[in-house]
Amino acid sequence: MLNSFAAFIFRIAGWKIIGRPPHEIKKAVWVGAPHHSNWDFMLCLGARGAIKINIGFLAKSQLFKWYSGWLFRALGCYPVYRNKSTNMVDAVVNLFNENQSLHIAITPEGTRKDVERLKTGFYHIALKARVPLILIGFDYPRKALVISEPIFLTGNLETDLKKVYDFYSNIQGKHKTWLREYARTGLIITHQKD
């Protein structure tokens, strides 16, 4: 019901999907960028309803209280249980290992503000869980969410991230520093620690 309503709003607002939704893929990490607006989450809800793939979102387990857990679950959020021995990457990999079908969306910029580089947690999650990346570009000038073909990782960080950077270089609209620098130099700068 929520997905159908969100898809309806998505369409009447004039948004469209460009690219083929990969219905045959049972597990994937969906990567959303460039992240500029609070509306990005609403667009993702609408796109999820339109493409009919149940893409979930991550939320820290502390948010799933008796009075709020139902809302987060209704929106498609998965609780991530972190403790001293389990970091975020391993916690999400465990989610993939525990489910036969799972699609999770991540925004690797980590903020709507300008950033100089992407965080690479999304990459390490997909690599350790042995699932592909599916990229989504928020193309505001065209009012489109652009979907990439699945990217199956090789384990070579720079080679794999080049595909990510090349895809987002073609998304219209305002580019953040990480993309402007890539366009200028062709270099991919990664965080040492995420």
pLDDT over 90 (residue 30): yes
Would you give the end-to-end CA distance of the chain in angstroms? 36
Rounded to the nearest integer, the mean pLDDT of the chain is 87
Q: Where are the beta strands (DSSP E) in the chain?
A: 16-18, 27-33, 55-60, 77-80, 102-106, 133-139, 144-147
Q: What is the pLDDT of residues 36-95, one digit of tens each?
A: 777 787 888 888 889 999 898 876 677 778 777 777 777 777 776 666 555 888 888 998
Confidence of residue 28 (pLDDT cuts 50, 70, 90): very high
Q: Work out the average pLDDT over 162-188.
A: 93
Using CA atoms, how far apart are residues 131 and 123, in angstroms rounded to an integer? 10
Tell me what pLDDT residue 99 has: 93
Q: What is the DSSP annotation of 91-135?
A: HHHHHHHH-SSEEEEE-TT-SSS--SSB--HHHHHHHHHT--EEE
pLDDT over 90 (residue 174): no
Q: What is the pLDDT of residues 145-162, one digit of tens each?
A: 999 999 999 999 999 999
Tell me what pLDDT residue 4 has: 83
